[in-house]
Amino acid sequence: MFYEKESVEAVVNECIDNNILKDFLEKNNSEVIDMVLYEFNLNAAIEASSIHGKENGVKEGIKQGKEEGKKKALREIAFNMKDFGMSPKKVMEITSLDLEEVEGIFWIYNFETHIKALYEEGFEEGIQEGIKQGNEEGFHETLIEMSKKMKDTGYSLNEIYNFTGLDRRKFEL
């Protein structure tokens, strides 16, 4: 907040006229006025500096963010171009990226492609192994479940073992 000198002087004079700190204000009139003006002007300047600094920081942040966003978009375009078989030279012409950056993007692309292929290969092996394991588990669980159901409905153990093919030595009902 900024105060006009005349306004502060008027307040000090009114205090003196109303016997509020009269002796002190009469002796230190100019110091009090200067202190009030300086103190409030300093606080206002500090607050204004902070606001101004933040505004400038936001502007600079937007500028930097746009540059980063542009580079990110160019890299993604280059990556996609590689995906469609474009040469590094053609990618450089279109995106204006330098050779080192394009080669880096192509290296990452090749690395990711290789990693994805390894993952998919492992995933397929896992699927086949999981199907085999799940098939065996499901088969045995069903045999045991059906054996218990047959036992509960009155079938003899011989009949149950004959129907299910369970080995008497491995599965005791």
Query: Residue 104 to residues 77, 94, 168: CA-CA distances in angstroms?
Result: 14, 16, 65
pLDDT tens digits, 32-43: 888 877 776 666
pLDDT tens digits, 43-89: 666 777 788 788 888 999 999 999 999 989 998 899 899 889 999 99
CB-CB contact of 8 with 29 (8 Å): no
pTM over 0.75: no
Angle of helix 29-83 relative to helix 88-95, nearest 10 degrees, comes to 140
Domain residues of the chain, as ranges? 5-144
In total, the chain counts a number of residues equal to 173
Angle of helix 29-83 relative to helix 99-152, nearest 10 degrees, comes to 80
